[in-house]
Structure 1
Amino acid sequence: MNKPGIVFDTRYLDHRITQPTRENPDRLRSLFGAVKQQFNNRLETVQPREARLEDIEQIHSNFYLNQIREHAIKGDPFSYDKDTYLMELSLATAQLAAGGCLELADQIMGGSLEQGFALIRPPGHHAEPGRGMGFCILNNIAITAQYLQDHFQLDRILVIDFDVHHGNGTQEAFYDSDKVLFISIHQNNIFPFSGDIAEIGNAEGLGYNINIPVHSHFGDQEYTFLLGKLLQSVAEQYLPEIILVSAGYDGHREDSISSTFLSTHSFHTITTLLRQCARDICDDRLLFILEGGYNPVSLEKSVLATIDSLLQPHGSRVGILHSERADALFTNHPLHAFWTL
């Protein structure tokens, strides 16, 4: 078994602003050290590269990129909303974040790695083709999915987003495509106020966009049931060639940004389920990309739990306990018949 790859770089701390904000360098500062101390030589360190503009432009508009570049040159602070700021080093940091994901993707597709985790910032899944929002500047996971289509001719990519917020930017990027199956499990009625169950894709993408908006206080059993059922039914029919994960840890019970009730151990369980699916379906190709998580303590514990699961011997499995509340969401979904869920 190859070691899992890990991307982190101190330059990810360069994107910062003096005003208080939840998405700041302290999210990763201690996490880098904790990963190094706990797992030492058990992970393959992967050096990130800056994503090329031509790869970024497959997802984001020239107008938007020129706008970011202009503020980087001027060095003038700029904000798309109260959470999404641009500073002098923001574009370079965002390109390095996206490029770290692409470097992992290259090595996974080349066979030198089976799985990887990109410990990057700023996050990306809210970034739309023409604007940044919700802490996100470039949509790292969408850029990676499109890159895999363009450079490796992949026709079936599964994107799982378990961040507590809906990945609206990722959904928009592939809403008309059947080459990316997007599944988002997120808390309902919170930012960005999208991700309704009726948003099921369009044109060739009809049926390939699955949103599961969960109620507040859903916890480990509900999430395990939902993800397990989705992987057993949808993923086993779609047969993805790789699984990309928008790994957001802001659904943790200790993160005040949400009111879902996930424990640290739930992220170990989620990872084990995803590993099991990747092993059975797509030759272990599994790539985690960091999204949210704004309590540095619970973020650190949860990421360590994910990595610990990635390092477990092959063959680890998880039982799925029934949840009546989760089953009601599952069986009443408008795509239930489409995927025979």
Structure 2
Amino acid sequence: MKFGYREICLEHDTGSRHPESPDRLRAIRRALDDAEDIEYVAADAATKAEVASVHADEYVRSVRQFCADGGGNWDADTVAVEETWDAAMASAGLAAWAAEAALDGADGAETPFSLGRPPGHHAVADDAMGFCFVNNVAVAAERALSERDVDRVAILDWDVHHGNGTQDIFYDRGDVYYVSFHEEGLYPGTGDISESGDGEGEGQTMNVPFPPGCGDADYLSVYDTIVEPEFEAFDPDLLLVSAGFDAHEQDPISRMLVSTGGYGVLAKRLADFAERTDAPLAFVLEGGYGLETLSSGVREVHDVLGGKELADVDTEPSEDGRNVRDALVYQGFGPQ
């Protein structure tokens, strides 16, 4: 794969006890050390105008000044230092690069994957939260919509937390279809099935709040029967994945049961959809706080898209998974 990576992203120092640490990127790099067909790309940082295209001007100015003044605790979870501004701009630029590379034809074993931090999907239009300052995937989507021959972008967010920021930014827009797989009741407490878009975006936000204990078969069942048909009807010109790996069965902060192999199977489903519908595919790193589970998940995606045989994962959804699928149908999603 082509991996977007910048050393400045290591300079966003959250402290020795914070789960979103520079060690996350270091662990991924170590896991990829012996992988074949790896290319690292140090893409340009996002511009202030690109960030302001999805965030309020006053908020962007406030974050920049907060970092220039030395940073600190923006809130209880979201920490900055002076270098955080540059890291956040680099992370957003890497995400935008991933979208651009996909649109330029990088696919298969060269599918682009942005390895930036801080992550982004909790950053709403006018505030930072949940470790996130700039919504990276939103910057990527907006650049594609503004500067390329792209009319519609689909986003699948498989991070274990609801991507409230991405939802907030695109909730009333008709050119982005946002789907979030997340653990029900987990931070930030948003992402109910009933939150499905407004105005021109009505019906183009799909929240899939899985009860704790759901795993591979539940994710794949909802993807196969609900998400893929919805994406196919939407007919996206670009498909982006907010790829957090904290729904892993061994992640320390969630109660989900997705396996390393399950992430690979889901990534292959998306790659097959992208190839069949001519919708370029790119991945943008979000969460994942067990270093082993995070790094093995990224490596699995790389290996599978490079041709590795898929893992043999469970395909029979649990009762909870079936109930979620039925609730989505009742809400009006999927084939009726």
> What is the TM-score with the length of structure 2 in the denominator?
0.93
Moved over 3 A (4+): 315-322, 334-339
Q: For the residues of structure 1 that align with 2:35 and 2:335, how far apart are their CA atoms?
A: 42
Kindly provide the CA deviation profile for residues 282-322 of structure 1, in whole angstroms up to 9, marking residues without a partner as x.
Answer: 25x11100000001111111111111112118x98999934
The alpha-carbon deviation at position 277 of structure 1 amounts to 0.9
Indicate whether 1:290 and 2:285 are aligned.
Answer: yes
Amino acid at match of 1:92: D
Partner of 2:303: 308
Aligned residue in 1 for 2:84:
90
| Equivalent residue number for residue 120 of structure 1 | 116
CA displacement 1:192-218 (0-9 Å, x = unmatched): 000000001000100000001001010
- Equivalent positions of 1:99-248 (< 5 A) are 99-111=93-105, 115-248=111-244
User: Secondary structure of the residue that 1:259 maps to in structure 2?
Assistant: coil
Are the aligned partners of 2:225 and 2:334 in contact in 1 as well (CA < 8 Å)? no
Equivalent AA in structure 2 for residue 291 of structure 1? E
Do 1:8 and 1:32's aligned partners in 2 also have CA atoms closer than 8 Å? no
CA 1:68–1:240: 2 relative to 1, 3 Å: same
Range 5-14 or range 246-255, more displaced:
5-14
Corresponding residue to 1:261 among 257, 272, 277? 257
When residues 223 and 339 of structure 1 are mapped into structure 2, their CA distance, relative to the original with a 3 A threshold, is: closer
- Separation of aligned partners in 2, 1:89 and 1:54: 19
Tell me the CA shift for residue 69 of structure 1: 1.3
- Report the counterpart of residue 315 of structure 2 in structure 1: 321
1:340/1:59 Cα in 2 relative to 1: closer, same or farther (>3 Å)?
same
Say if 2:31 and 2:296, in contact at 8 Å, map to a contact too: no
Q: Is the 2:226–2:335 contact (alpha carbons within 8 Å) kept by the matching residues of 1?
A: no
Whole-Å separation in 1 of the counterparts to 2:250 and 2:288: 10
Find the aligned partners of 1:213 and 1:125 in 2 and give their Cα distance: 16
In the other structure, the counterpart of 2:55 is: 60
Secondary structure in 1 aligned to 2:139?
helix
Shift of 1:112: 5.0
Task: List per-residue Cα deviations over 1:118-141 (Å, max 9, x = no partner).
Answer: 111110000011111001110000
CA distance in 2, matches of 1:17, 1:327: 39
Secondary structure of the residue aligned to 1:333 is helix
Mapped pair 1:14 → 2:23: no
Report % sequence identity.
31
Query: CA–CA distance in 2 between the matches of 1:143 and 1:319?
Result: 34
Counterpart of 1:185 in 2: which secondary structure?
A: strand
SS at match of 1:131: coil
Give per-residue Cα distances to partners, 1:90-119, cap 9 Å, x unaligned.
010000001011122222222355621111
Q: Quote the Cα distance in structure 1 between the aligned partners of 2:47 and 2:75.
A: 26
Q: Deviations along 1:42-76, whole A, 9 cap, x unmatched?
A: 0332222110111110111111111111122222x
Structure 2 CA distance for aligned equivalents of residues 340 and 332 of structure 1: 13
Deviates more, 1:149-158 or 1:118-127: 149-158
Q: Say yes or no: does 1:34 pair with 2:28.
A: no
In 1: Cα distance, 2:315 partner to 2:22 partner: 38
Q: Given that residues 96 and 137 in structure 2 are in contact (C-alpha distance below 8 angstroms), is that contact kept between their aligned partners in structure 1?
A: no
Consecutive unaligned residues in structure 1, runs of 5 or more: none
Identify if the C-alpha distance between structure 1 residues 212 and 161 changes in structure 2 by more than 3 Å, giving closer, same or farther: same
Q: Distance in 2 between matches of 1:34 and 1:278?
A: 26
User: Cα–Cα, structure 1 residues 187 and 142, in superposed 2: closer, same or farther, change >3 Å?
Assistant: same
* Alignment correspondent of 1:251: 247
Task: Judge conservation of contact 1:128–1:169 (CA < 8 Å) in 2.
Answer: yes
Say whether the 8 Å CA contact 1:6–1:45 is kept in structure 2.
yes
Q: Does the 8 Å CA contact 1:248/1:291 hold for their aligned counterparts?
A: yes
Once residues 308 and 71 of structure 1 are traced to their aligned partners in structure 2, the CA distance between those partners, rounded to angstroms, is 40
> How far apart are 1:30 and its partner, in Å?
2.6
Q: Would the alpha carbon gap of residues 18 and 331 (structure 1) be closer, same or farther in structure 2, given more than 3 Å must change?
A: closer
d(CA) in 2 for partners of 1:278, 1:31: 25
Aligned partners of 1:232 and 1:18: how far apart in 2? 40
Cα distance in 2 for residues equivalent to 1:328 and 1:193: 20
Give the CA RMSD over aligned residues: 2.1
Residue 261 of structure 1: CA displacement? 1.0
Q: C-alpha separation between the residues in 2 aligned to 1:148 and 1:69?
A: 24
